[in-house]
Amino acid sequence: MTPLLTIDPAAFAPDAAPEGTVALNERLMAQASGAPDAWSIGPAAVRERRKLGLSPFIGEPKSARAETVTIPGPGGPLQLRVIAPPAQATGVYLHIHGGGWTFGSADQDDPRLDRFAVKLGLVCVSVEYRLAPENPYPAAPDDCEAAALWLIREAKQRFGAERLLIGGESAGAHLAVVTLLRLRDRHGLTPFARANLTAGCFDLGLTPSARSFQPKGLVLGARDLRMFVAQYLQGGENRQAPDVSPLYGALAGLPPAIFTVGGRDPLVDDTLFMAARWAAAGNPAELAVWPGSPHVHVALPDPQAEPALARIEAFLKG
């Protein structure tokens, strides 16, 4: 019998966060108070600051084993960053990075993808999808769809593994679900065995927590979310269309998923709502809410990052 999806009220208690998480949040807010306003300096400048480590998501060492594979994409050559395991592959993990559809790159999560490669034997393939505002919707999901179709065709011959997994963080989790829906609805394909969805934005009309989140400066705020959506959607798209907001999609037939989110993440409602709809559609769903943790805490020096990653690894391995 599939375990019931449960939400523990204790995870949201004001005093539930570990001391180290509280201290991290205070440091992040202090850092943000002295940083330039991202929406004043523009996306290009923010991307450069992120590369230099001048953001909460510090510049991290890149994998020495990473290679780039270039495939045909809907907008031209599409790069995939591949991190292979040191031994025989047990599966292939299609990873989609976060960054509000506007920032980020396929190499930003190398340490965690390296870890999955070594500990789980996964070939990790991260998509260098086109970014907004230069390339608004549907460029990013088009690229992710193309990468997934390529992987379905090539995984066994190229990597020696047939078990496919998919996942991402924030906008990457959103794009992962959109990709699953496109594969099912456009191609009649349901090839992925498991989905790892961390702090996803699943309703681009914005859920209550996304609209009202306080305080400012804790990685991601309500204004940031409004601006990200405005950068991504420039054609007057229906924000309740499943290809835009997958929360509104028909979710039957999707793979088992683990949903991970921090209690002080503005996208906590997105995770709670999507996990419930996932389960209601008949799909196994596991929910992990980490008390007091900020947005995408698995990429931050949060004491709850390690247990969260360990739980994700156990799920992907299963």
Mean pLDDT by 10 residues, the chain (318 residues): 76 96 95 81 76 63 93 98 96 98 94 97 98 97 98 97 98 99 98 98 98 89 95 96 98 98 98 98 97 97 98 96
The answer to whether residue 9 sits within a structural domain is: no
Quick check: 25 and 264 in contact, CB under 8 A?
A: yes
The per-residue pLDDT for 56 is 59
Domain coverage including residue 91: 18-317
Helix, strand, or coil (residue 192): strand
Helix, strand, or coil (residue 260): strand
Take residue 38 and report the two structure tokens written for it. 């991202």
The per-residue pLDDT for 45 is 76
Backbone Cα Rg of the chain: 18
Domain count of the fold of the chain: 1
Take residue 192 and report the two structure tokens written for it. 């992925």
Q: Return the CATH number at 290.
A: 3.40.50.1820
Take residue 162 and report the two structure tokens written for it. 């047939």
The answer to whether residue 6 sits within a structural domain is: no
The answer to whether residue 226 sits within a structural domain is: yes
Report the amino acid identity of residue 26: E
Report the amino acid identity of residue 256: P
Quick check: 147 and 70 in contact, CB under 8 A?
A: no
The answer to whether residue 223 sits within a structural domain is: yes
The per-residue pLDDT for 1 is 43
The per-residue pLDDT for 41 is 79
The answer to whether residue 12 sits within a structural domain is: no
The answer to whether residue 10 sits within a structural domain is: no
The answer to whether residue 36 sits within a structural domain is: yes
Contacts (Cβ under 8 Å, ≥6 apart) of 290: 11, 21, 260, 261, 262, 263, 297, 302, 304, 307, 308
CA distance 140 to 217: 27
The helix-helix angle for 171-187 and 139-159 (nearest 10°) equals 80
The per-residue pLDDT for 54 is 63
Strand partners, 289: 261
Nearest C-alpha neighbor of 126 from the set 152, 99, 95? 95
The per-residue pLDDT for 59 is 57
Buried b (16+ CB within 10 A) or exposed e, 164-203: bbbbbbbbbbbbbbbbbbbbbeeeeeebbebbbbbbbbbb
Quick check: 226 and 206 in contact, CB under 8 A?
A: yes
The answer to whether residue 281 sits within a structural domain is: yes
The per-residue pLDDT for 101 is 98
